[in-house]
Structure formats: C-alpha cells, structure tokens
Amino acid sequence: MTRRRLPAEWEPQSALLLTWPHRDGDWGNDLEDVQQTFAAMARAVAPRQRLVVACHDQTTETEVRRRTRGLSSVTYLQIPSNDIWVRDHGPITVLEDGRPRLLDFRFNGWGNKYPSALDDRLTAALAPEAFPGLPLESINVVLEGGSIETDGAGTLLTTTRCLLHPSRNPGVERTKLERWLHDWFGVRRVLWLEHGELEGDDTDGHIDMLARFAPGNRILYTACDDRSDPHHAPLEAMAQELERFRAADGSAYRLLPLPWPPARHDENGERLPLSYANFLVINGAVLVPVYDLPTDEPAMDVIRHAFPHRAVIPVPAHPLVRQHGSVHCASMQIPAAVA
C-alpha cells in the first residue's frame, strides 16, 4: 500500500514557480509596478533555490530575462497564461512513499469568475519541461493550492466557505471531499474553519489569506482588533475556532495574531484584501508582503518569532493586492525531493 504525504512549506525546497505578469493580462497601467514586485521576489529566491518562470510569449520571456539578468538559477518556459496566480493553477507536490508526484487539479477561475482556460492547461505544459520524468497525475476536480494549508505531519487546514462553494464542485458534500483530501494528500485530519473572510478576496475565503501553520504547532492568523471594522466579528469568530482546535498530540495550538492593516481601497472604492498571512516560506527565508503601512514591521516581527532561523524579507505587495492577491498567491514551491 502506497503512502502519501503533503510536505509543509518550511521543509527544504528545490524550486519556486512563478507565472510572470504580461501585457495580455488584467494589469493595465499597473504592469510595470507588478513586474518590479516579481523582480524583487526573483532576486530573493534565486540565491536560495531554482526559479522556474512561465512566460506568456517571447515578448514576456525577453522582458523577464532583462529583469532577472545576473541570476544564475532561473529556468524560462514559454507557456501561455491568463494571469499570475500560480498558487492556484500550478501543481501541488505530494510525496508517495518518499517519491515526488505532481498533482494537476482543475482550475476554473475561482468559480468561473474570470477567464481561466490557459491557466487550467499550464501545469500539463510546464511539468514535462521543468520536471522531465516526474509523474503527473491529472485530477478532474477543482482545487486551488491557496485553499489548503498543511503542517506536513498529517493535518490539513482549510475553509468550508471555499472548498464547499457550489461554483467549485457542485453537489460534492463535505464527507466525500474530506475522503478525497485524505486520498490525494495522505492527511489524517482536516480542520475546517467555518468563519473568517476578507472584503475584496474573490477566492471565497482562501486559507492562505487567513491562517497559516508554522513549526512547533504554531498558527499565524489574520486578526482584527478594530471593533468598528466589519471584519471584527467574523475574524473574532475564526480566532475562537482556532482556539478550540487541537494539534495531533492533543495540545492547543500556539496562536500568533498578525497585525490588522489600515483599510485601503482601489479606484472604484472597493476595499483591498490586505493580508500579512499571505507570506511565502522558502529555503532560509520568509518573503513577507508589505504595504507601506505602519503595521508592516510589527507583522514581520511576528513572522520572525515563528521562523527564528530564517531571514525575513519584505516584498512590496501593494501592486499585487490591487488584483486581490499577494506574495503567496503568486508563487508555488516545489519540495527538495524533486530533482
């Protein structure tokens, strides 16, 4: 009988995937700003592990090569894409009896909200080029990488609001989906959050905007201490749920609240989903989204406490959050077991 395990993000990695922003996407006048953010991420990652970049076309590849000039560990692949959110359209890597296997789930633009046909095909095109010979398992179920979080030891954290949303897999009940999660990822426990949401988050409640595991049975989570803010009640209810959860050994989780950033809105007056929980763990470092706000440094302090042996690197994330995502959403790690 084969055994599967979904590694924790803080375990050793061999590569990081990026899908580079391009002129045919939704970025408009923000394209230059978001490319600068991507270049900052690339400079932080490349000295620590391989970087694999999906480039929409030759024009995009030329631009990416210009912005990553001098970085020696970058692989460039020309693969068409709708948008940049590789956390959700990229592969999820499991270890099967210790050997890596890439899982390619369906991606439908977060419940058919946005065009996604190119993104849905990206993993099938990328895998044989970037990781030749590695098994690729196609699964005809909609699942986004940003909707699940694991401690690498058999526990998976997610939200009912996203995974059970009828626009993902209509008619699939919680018990059936939980059984699938056990089969796909080898997890023994699924912790479901019923509460917690951010205005402007069009993913229907991805866990990577709300709560994240860290070593030592820690959970970092988005907390709202402003009672006048409409987020206070749902995030307080989420915090109470986290307090009731127990680790596999029966102990309470060590909860680390992340600072609540002041509200920011787009040009149409829509509130943006600023989240410090959307950090990215790589080899020897944590990339933390920052928004040029007074809460940035306190948020990095919390993350330093959770990951004391890693460098904490701020990444200017306001260009990303204009399109309702952040640093973690725009990246996907590949475990060290993958050559």
- The question of whether 55 is a catalytic residue gets the answer no
Q: What is the 3-state secondary structure (H, E, C) of the chain?
A: CCCEECCCCCCCEEEEEEECCCCCCCCHHHHHHHHHHHHHHHHHHCCCCEEEEEECCHHHHHHHHHHCCCCCCEEEEECCCCCCCHHHHCCEEEEECCEEEEEEEECCHHHHCCCCHHHHHHHHHHHHHHCCCCCEEEEEEECCHHHCEECCCCEEEEEHHHHCCCCCCCCCCHHHHHHHHHHHHCCCEEEEECCCCCCCCCCCCCHHHCEEEECCCEEEEECCCCCCCCCHHHHHHHHHHHHHCECCCCCECEEEEECCCCCCECCCCCECCCCCCCCEEECCEEEEEECCCCCHHHHHHHHHHHCCCCEEEEEECHHHHCCCCCCCCCCEEEECCCC
Q: How is residue 58 written in tokens?
A: 């030759």
What amino acid positions are annotated as catalytic residues? 329
